[in-house]
Amino acid sequence: MDNNRCSVTLEDDGSVTFYIYAPNANKVEVAGMGGYFSSERIQLKPDMQGGFSANIKDFHWAMHYYFWYVDDVCITNPHAAISYGCFAAINTFEVPKEGEDFYFVRDVPHGTVSLCKYTSQVNGHIKESYVYTPPGYESGDVRYPVLYLQHGVGENETGWVWQGKMNFIMDNLIADKKCVPMIIVASSGYAFKDNEYPVFFPGDFDSELVNSIIPYIEENFKVKKGRNNRAVAGLSLGSGQATDIAARHPELFSAVGVFSGVAIHLMKKIIDSPYRFEAVFMSAGDKEKEILLGINEMVKEFSRQGKNSTPKVYEGYHEWHVWRKSFKDFAQMLFTWDDAELDDINKAVPVRSKNIDFTTPVQADESMVFFDPVYRQIQFENDEDGKPAGKYPDVIHGIRVTEDNSIEVNLFAPDAKSVSVVLENGTEELLYRSKKNDGYWEKTIGNPAEGFNYVTFMVNGTPVVNPAAPVGFGYNRAVNFAEVPERNFSWHELKKTEHGQIHIHYSCDGDGQVSMNYVYTPAGYGEDNCDTGRVCVLECAADERNFCWIHQGKIANIMDNLSGEGRIKGIMIIMADSTISDDIIGNITAIYGIRDSARKEWFKKGDNESWTSCRHRFLNFMCGIQ
């Protein structure tokens, strides 16, 4: 028995070993989504100790989305790396291509990725963007141009960081003096209104970007304004959105990047625009034949009108290796039309040459397991003219809290023999086959504990992640959870107030180990009216990780709400693992100009403490240190 063994291991000989502990299973298989990882299932062999494994030779390089099948039931493995793709929590793993390390973490200065809340003027929702700022951004007064970068269908704002590695690509390009330092904004492209079922484009993201995101970025970040300092790009669906936005607003953007998608009627608007586009970049994988035909047609049209465009073809299918290369090449073209920007390249910091391979099996503490699932699924259809007409109907929530505070759980597992959930208190509840929704198992659980509740789904006795429900991290694995409103406590809830930011800082130690450290700063941090000399360090429990403080602890919400009511002011929060070093804390505080002698408070979550209790205790702790 080895329940802690790595689920996907890239061996020294280039083969890949899959493993899962499923003692109640009779058969386990894995399969990809097509392309370089076939959808044909591969059977794992039992080890007679409850585990199943298979070693696959000559596995092709790529970042793979893939599926596990336990007794013919498709599951998401809680012990394997998880990203957000296909509108769900989905297992992923990486096989790097020999000789390609442009997206690895290198021992160079690292930029910061910040999670920033804004309010959509399209639907009133509070949403997040992931914002990359280059090394040295916090301590300098330089203003930067901005690239707005969109994800593909079924993904969200997390994709360009966790799957795309765009921050590492930028760090390396800047360090090698191959790229103008810039800010990059990755946002969720879904802008649905209530009861709206749009075709192809998922709502009016054009308006959200122009009227909500760009104003937020230009108010809260040190940016250069004007069309010459803005570009827009995206992959697949995001490429269509980028083309649409550039065609509608040529006065706002000077460059457009189109990765694995070409909307011909929109591209013709760009060609006919009276505005000059400094860079029009179109790319695809060599296996994307139809897209390549469209790109070739557009390149000829640009040429006929005496305008420039840059086509690129990369080895690959409709997948992340193609998009990473597209981003790398497009980024190097941007903002070079301003002589002052070229001077910035020459001021890039010296770099060391050591490479760190950050692509071999990404474990849960190195990948994003938190997200706000988009409860829609695209149905790919064509209209009468043969044009794409994908629709976005609602799908059933994996976990839903009802008006009477019961927990309604649903899992799509049509071939399962039994499905149950185990609640945080250890109670197991059996689910029943739905009479209304074919293939689903369901149950409504009354009188759950108020607050945060871990919910472990079991299929035929094997723990799984429900891909259509919120996913957190606990018990040293990915796990679903439910939030039941508390009658007498709401400090952790997202409210309409000024919101601070969460920043991800990357560091490499002398042994080549990479750590990610999460930092919260309140709204207005660093301004004259916001103290920058107070720090609180949070330590998580042994079987959790520092990022658990975000969506499980709701620390940012608590701090925003306390600040909004004037109860606290100007406190930075460092979210730490139990092993964080003083050196890392010192490096982080130095970025924000805080002296080592500054006052530091420490708060630790108990190993057996619930998140509900921890939130209450944290609130009292913060109010008590004033």
- Per-residue model confidence as pLDDT tens digits over 309-367: 999 999 999 999 999 999 999 999 999 986 444 334 334 333 332 333 333 333 223 23
Does the 501-624 domain belong in CATH 3.40.50.1820?
Answer: yes
The pTM assigned to this predicted structure is 0.92
**Angle ∠(274,122,218) on CA atoms, nearest 5:** 60
For residues 431 and 412, give the distance between their C-alpha atoms in angstroms, rounded to a whole number: 11
Amino acid 595: pLDDT: 75
Does the 105-359 domain belong in CATH 3.40.50.1820?
Answer: yes
524: which 2 tokens?
Answer: 């207005």
Q: What is the pLDDT of residues 373-386, one digit of tens each?
A: 677 888 888 777 77
Amino acid 528: pLDDT: 54
Adjacency order of strands within the sheet including 407-412 = 399-401, 407-412, 440-445, 432-433
Q: How far, rounded to the nearest angstrom, does the alpha carbon of residue 625 sit from its chain's CA centroid? A: 34
Beta strands in 37-111 (DSSP E): 42-46, 51-56, 62-70, 73-75, 82-85, 88-95, 105-106
CB 466 within 8 A of CB 383: no
The ranges of the chain annotated as CATH 3.40.50.1820 are: 105-359, 501-624
Architecture of domain 399-480: Sandwich (2.60)
Q: What is the pLDDT of residues 109-157, one digit of tens each?
A: 999 999 999 999 998 888 999 999 999 999 888 999 999 999 999 999 9
Q: What is the pLDDT of residues 254-304, one digit of tens each?
A: 999 999 998 899 999 999 999 999 999 999 999 999 999 999 999 999 999
Which candidate, 166, 163, 169, 189, places its Cα nearest to that of 65? 163
**Angle ∠(464,470,473) on CA atoms, nearest 5:** 65
Q: What are phi and psi of 490, to 5 degrees?
A: -135, 15
Which candidate, 253, 256, 257, 255, places its Cα nearest to that of 227? 253
Least confident of 463-477, 521-535, 574-588: 521-535
Which candidate, 489, 483, 501, 619, places its Cα nearest to that of 562? 619
Strand-pair category, 355-356 with 105-106:
antiparallel
CB 590 within 8 A of CB 524: no
72: which 2 tokens?
Answer: 């013919």
**Angle ∠(469,475,481) on CA atoms, nearest 5:** 20
Residue 150's identity, in one-letter code, is Q
For residues 488 and 367, give the distance between their C-alpha atoms in angstroms, rounded to a whole number: 34
Amino acid 311: pLDDT: 97
User: Is residue 408 predicted with pLDDT exceeding 70?
Assistant: yes
The ranges of the chain annotated as CATH 2.60.40.10 are: 8-95, 399-480
Amino acid 36: pLDDT: 94
User: Is residue 576 predicted with pLDDT exceeding 70?
Assistant: yes
User: Is residue 501 predicted with pLDDT exceeding 80?
Assistant: yes
Amino acid 366: pLDDT: 29
419: which 2 tokens?
Answer: 């499905």
At residue 372 the predicted structure's pLDDT band, cuts being 50, 70 and 90, is low
At residue 198 the predicted structure's pLDDT band, cuts being 50, 70 and 90, is confident
At residue 2 the predicted structure's pLDDT band, cuts being 50, 70 and 90, is low
**Angle ∠(467,152,186) on CA atoms, nearest 5:** 100
At residue 600 the predicted structure's pLDDT band, cuts being 50, 70 and 90, is confident
User: Is residue 369 predicted with pLDDT exceeding 50?
Assistant: no
At residue 592 the predicted structure's pLDDT band, cuts being 50, 70 and 90, is confident
- CATH H-level, domain 8-95: superfamily: Immunoglobulins (2.60.40.10)
Amino acid 95: pLDDT: 93
- How many Cβ atoms sit within 10 Å of the Cβ of residue 389? 14
Amino acid 300: pLDDT: 96
At residue 519 the predicted structure's pLDDT band, cuts being 50, 70 and 90, is very high
